[in-house]
Amino acid sequence: MGGYPDAGLLIDAIVALVALEAIGLVAARRLFGRGPSSASSIANCAAGAALLMALRAAIGDAPFAVVALWLLAALLANVVDVALRWRGPDSCAAARPLSSSSALSPERSRV
């Protein structure tokens, strides 16, 4: 890896942390029913991991095609993430519990 002998190991460790982040976000979503959708969290973390892999490939003197493929993977994961988030917060309203203030609002109390 050029002049950075430990850079590959460092990037691998960061990719592992990104994977743990994805697992944590999905677990939090399942436990609490709040936050970004699991698919969006996975797509977001996949985009970051693909960028890190592109960096690792570039530092490791990999062929340009390998770097370009990792960058393409990051782009596709980012497009998926944006498409999932574009729907807005109302797309997962059924999974969100009502807060006490919204449960007591006048619109909800009418029969």
What residue spans define the domains of the chain? Answer: 7-109
Question: What percent of the chain is predicted at pLDDT more than 90?
Answer: 62
pTM: predicted TM-score of the whole model, two decimal places: 0.73
Whether residue 21 has pLDDT greater than 80: yes
Question: Which residues contact residue 42 at a Cβ distance below 8 angstroms, ignoring those fewer than 6 apart?
Answer: 22, 26
pLDDT tens digits, one per residue of 49-73: 999 999 999 998 899 999 999 999 9
| Burial of residue 28, with CB atoms counted within 10 A of its CB: 0-12 exposed, 13-18 middle, 19 or more buried | middle
What are the backbone angles phi and psi of residue 58, rounded to the nearest 5°? -65, -40
| 38-66 exposure pattern, b = at least 16 Cβ within 10 A, e = fewer | bebbbbbbbbbbbbbbbbbbbbeeeeeee
pLDDT digits (tens, 9 = 90+) for 72-96: 999 999 999 999 988 765 555 444 5
